[in-house]
Amino acid sequence: MTSHEAARIVEVRELASRIARARRLTIMTGAGVSAASGVPTFRGPQGLWREYRAEDLATPEAFARDPQVVWEWYAWRREQIAACQPNPAHEAIASLAKRPGAAVITQNVDDLHVRAGTPGLIRLHGSIWELACAARCAAGTRPWRDERVPLSPLPPRWPHCRGLARPAVVWFGESLDDATLTAAVQATACDVFFTVGTSSIVYPAAGLVHEAKSRGAFTAEINLEETPASPAVDMAVHGAAEQILPLLTE
């Protein structure tokens, strides 16, 4: 066993005991928690679709410019995700979330946390399995669920106004849902706040761990590599979420 591995076992044990003693626990996840399920991450090697960066397609401007290509990207991602199952990281988080005083915040739109049975999930960026009226017509403000794969025809239309439907996700340049963001900020008032599999680059999500720290929480980060948040957290555990998270429920 390398000294690095020995040190990590000590860290994981300490984090597990802090979690066990925490009255209020908050977990925030990113694409890395779904990597072991086969869902492409954004900045990972398979993050690119055709030659587009996520930031190029996940914007209202891209949708206005070419709704067909944006919908082909989301339809492709839905087909990928439909073939995936929650992994041991999702299952461990679902069991931690069942404790009193626990909250789970995710940036992921894949709903694998939902399929793992995570109660009270705070979905910051929406769901790829929900659609909304792109024109925000009166009858189309509440997203509706549509899990058809393949989704056809593309782009889908909103039956009431016959206008275009869009994925009910938050695009870059769009504000998050007020109630959802308020719930996430409230969850930063906790004893232990740790992130799993996020590059901590996209805001306002990336600001939550700093908010939790400023409120006195013990903060930790579980990631394969360093992120901009690593210097700020109390403990940065480098490793795979699907291997480490099950150790935190013991």
Among 58, 134, 165, 217, binds ligand BV8 (CB under 6 A): 58
Stretch that binds ligand BV8, among 3-11, 97-105, 115-123, 171-179 (CB under 6 A): 171-179
Strands 102-106 and 122-123, by their bridges, are parallel
Annotated catalytic residue 125: yes
Three-state DSSP class for residue 248: helix
Cβ 205 to ligand BV8 shortest distance, Å: 5
Q: Which of 125, 160, 210, 238 is catalytic?
A: 125
Q: Give the per-residue SS3 of 124-138.
A: CCEEEEEEEECCCCH
198 binds ligand BV8 (CB under 6 A): yes
CA–CA distance, 22 with 97 (Å, rounded to integer): 12
Among 29-37, 64-72, 156-164, 178-186, which window interacts with ligand BV8 (CB under 6 A)? Answer: 29-37
Contact in structure between 30 and 195 (CB atoms under 8 Å): yes
- Among the listed residues 19, 75, 223, 236, the single contact to ligand BV8 using CB under 6 A: 223
Q: Which of 90, 113, 125, 166 binds ligand BV8 (CB under 6 A)?
A: 125
- To ligand BV8, the closest distance from the beta carbon of 178 in angstroms equals 11
**In a 3-state reduction of DSSP, which class is residue 113?**
helix
- How many chain residues bind ligand BV8 (CB under 6 A)? 38
C-beta of residue 220 within 8 angstroms of C-beta of residue 235:
yes
Q: CB of 165 within 8 A of CB of 84?
A: no
The CA distance from 71 to 150, in Å, is 11
Interface with ligand BV8 (CB under 6 A): 30-32, 35-36, 41-44, 47, 54-55, 58, 107, 109, 125, 169-175, 197-199, 201-205, 223-225, 227, 240-242
